[in-house]
Amino acid sequence: MLFKVRNSVDKKIYNSIDLTKFICAILIITIHISPFGSNGENSIISYLNFGIQDYIARIAVPFFFMASGFFLYRKTLLADFDPELSKKYCIRIFQLYIIWTIIYSPLIIGRFFNDKQGLVHAILVFVRDTIFTGSYTQLWYLNGLIVAVIITSVLLYKKVSLKKILLCAIILYLIGLFAQSWFGFIEPLKELTPTLWSILKLIEKVIVTTRDGVFLGFPFVSLGMCFAFFDIKISKKKSFVGLCISMVLLLFEVFLFQYIGFVHEHNMYLFLVPVTFFLFAFVKEVQLADNAIYKTLRTLSSLIFFGHLWVGAVVGKLLSFISEGLGDSWLKFVISLIVTIIWAYIVMKLSERKKFKLLSYLY
């Protein structure tokens, strides 16, 4: 294992990370569209969906955060940190956030009319969510990434040491866990200290969830930053062993806490941190020969992530129109996956032409 401060800008191409990001984009689809269908009471189906959606697929977003932090901060040096790169990056991510919010606006507006507390309440909820949790389901990642990069970059600009940044990130992640998978540990506060519980519930009404840029995004972006500033090299064998052990521990944590009823949300688990760390360390050391396919996969992963819920909504409606049960069947996942990949590829190829250059703003 080697931890050496990098003294030159990293210009290496990491094809293995692009491949992993593509796989993670597919896993994101499984979180939002049940791979085995959600219209049955079959316990086996439920367990299979749970195993994929709330165990395996939960690695995807932390990996995205780590990769984003890594690719951003490898363009500068720790001793000569340039905040201008972070500024430009956040502006670009914000543009994506606005563009995709507009694209999803028909589905967002649909929610306004389904709010039982009225249109005004729906609009206020939308404003709150747009600021704190994302304007639409998966778009919270863009919101969170901006916040995470701002926090990390400000601390770097203020010359805060990496040890203190990581310590701050770890503390925030641990706090966030109590509103997620560790919720069972604080639930007794409802009876023991009603006043404190009321304060926590008030905070929850404002920020809604700790699945955000502060408690989830910042810790993993800062880990990616460490891989960028330090030439961290862990052998593939050690990384793989660490990954396997961490996956077993995560499996135990996920299913145990679910069984005893501790879980409030499934986005954050303690052992998700070492799993993502060792996965990234392993993937980073895997050398894949240069091929145009990896650049394609990089673009496809972004378009798949952003566009899959529109595809899923349309596919679900069409299948429900054919037969009531099909809209929530495994067929929805399969068709949505195939159509999303095809759609993403078409958009990518069109964006390479001058007439459709504006499509490149989608990713």
Cα 60 to Cα 62: distance, rounded to the nearest angstrom: 6
- Whether 39 is in a domain gets the answer no
The C-alpha angle with vertex 263 and arms to 258 and 265, in degrees rounded to 5, equals: 125
Dihedral sign computed on CA atoms, order 40, 43, 44, 46: positive
What range does the domain containing 247 cover?
A: 44-291
Q: Is residue 50 part of a domain?
A: yes
pLDDT digits (tens, 9 = 90+) for 301-317: 999 999 999 999 999 99
Taking Cα atoms as reference points, which of 86, 64, 80, 198 lies closest to residue 140? 64
Nearest to 102 by CA among 334, 349, 348, 306: 306
Which residues does 11 contact at the CB level (< 8 Å), separation at least 6? none
In a domain, 93, yes or no: yes
CB 337 within 8 A of CB 277: no
Side-chain-side CA neighbours of 283 within 13 Å: the count stands at 25
Residue with tokens 């129109």: 321
Classify residue 197: in a domain, yes or no. Answer: yes
3-state SS, one letter per residue, for 309-331:
HHHHHHHHHHHHHHCHHHHHCHH
Looking at residue 39, what is its pLDDT?
A: 66
The dihedral built from the CA positions of residue 273, 279, 282 and 288, taken in this order, carries a sign that is negative
Is residue 265 within 8 Å of 211, Cβ to Cβ? yes
What average pLDDT does the structure give for the chain? 94
Q: Note the pTM of the prediction, 2 decimals.
A: 0.95
Determine how many CB atoms are found less than 10 A away from the CB of residue 318: 13
Number of domains comprising the chain: 1
In a domain, 314, yes or no: no
Measure the CA–CA gap between 166 and 224, rounded to whole angstroms.
11
CA distance 56 to 27: 8
Instruction: Report if residue 227 sits inside a domain.
Output: yes
Q: pLDDT per residue over 63-120, tens digit each? A: 999 999 999 999 999 988 989 999 999 999 999 999 999 999 999 998 888 888 888 9
Closest CA to 273 of 256, 255, 253, 287: 253
189-212, pLDDT tens digit by residue? 999 999 999 999 999 999 999 999
Q: Which helix (H) or strand (E) holds 265?
A: none
335: closest CA among 302, 303, 300, 311? 311
Within a domain: 210: yes
For Cα atoms 260, 263, 269, give the angle at the middle one, nearest 5 degrees: 110
Q: Residue 277: its pLDDT value, please?
A: 98
Mean pLDDT lowest for which of 116-125, 171-180, 215-224?
116-125
Statement: residue 1 has pLDDT above 60: no
Say whether pLDDT at 46 is over 80.
yes
336 found inside a domain: no
